[in-house]
Structure 1
Amino acid sequence: MSELPVAPEQIIHVVDDDEALRDSMTWMLEGNGYRVLTYESAEAFLRVCRPDMAGCVVLDVRMPGMSGLEMFEELGRRRCTLPVVFITGHGDVPMAVSALKKGAVDFIEKPFSERDMLRLIEQCLMLERDSRDKRLQEADTARRLEHLTQREREVLDLIIVGKLNKQIADVLGISIKTVEVHRARVMEKMGANSLAELVQHVVTVEPGALLR
């Protein structure tokens, strides 16, 4: 089984047409140990946006050209999973609320405090780490499933729906001892230490497994 890839470094991507704000955000975030990249427009960020980016986006709602909301919708179309915090002026709050309903993490009104911004940044990074870990676990489970033999997969499917060894033996027309051997191999190949862990891993990748 191949090892999981090393987690990429999380970067704060600040997208705002206000140069002074970009500079102050860079100073504040780098001073608190974060890595920061800034962009003067939504178009500039989208030119370098990749699905494997880690971190989060701090995004101004209202910018010349493509607005922050339009960029947010484009990120969704590109299946970009970076958490987004919107920076808003007072009149932009209704638009930010609309973005929250579509999946943005939060919004913060200008002028904002360093403490409030850092709190939102850490919330976003925690969400992104959890989401990335989940995707890596699902990819690992999918790879492990592909390495099962046909018989091991048949045994696994019956284990998942709660069949006992004797019942599995009857269904497949094999001995209980053979079921025990296949069951042990399934647990080993799937990297599961318990039945509960095995079920949890499989149903995360295949939600319909319990209904078979």
Structure 2
Amino acid sequence: MLPTFALLPHRACAQSGGGSASQGQNRQVRVLMRAHEQAQRSHLWRVAAWGGANLAVGVALMGASRRSSHPARFGYGLQSGIWGAVNLGIVGVGLSGGGPGAATGALAPALDAVRGYHDILLLNMGLNVAYTGVGAALLAAGYRDVESAASWRGHGAALIVQGLGLLALDGMALWGARGRLAELVDLAGRATLSMGPTGARLVLAL
């Protein structure tokens, strides 16, 4: 029976355990992953509510306004409606996939899944800041001597609202994902010795 060693870059820790320790860790991982999957679904439904509200507002504003007489209002409605439809489409794709599936009890796949989700949210946060910045630039340009200035103001204001709204939603999701990631990293930092069909597996945290 050959021992297999895995080194994890974390704080020094040395402890040994049998199958019960490994089973206990797997249970903890499954609990965290069930919470992670529920958090993902909740985030999608929040984005769906945000997208639906923006689509409804956008359609209402465009229906009640003429581009020629109320260009700012029409521009705001058009931009909001487009963003609402896009967000609803993204949510639809996410939910139609059937979710992430059964919660895994294996630590490495769980770490990969939560870290990947965390990194995507972090990227989205940066994009949301960029959307807000573009909206602010359009809004500022709309107060200068440019053609269709009022329309620029409408589109700019809508972009600012979208950027800030999505920043808040993604920020909430990122906060939760960061906490779950920290717990998984903490679990990875505990050295365990478990028995498997191919032999003993020792995980050392250095």
What's the TM-score, normalizing by structure 2? 0.28
* Larger relative contact order (CA 8 Å, sep ≥ 6): 2
Query: Which structure dedicates a bigger proportion of its chain to helix?
Result: 2
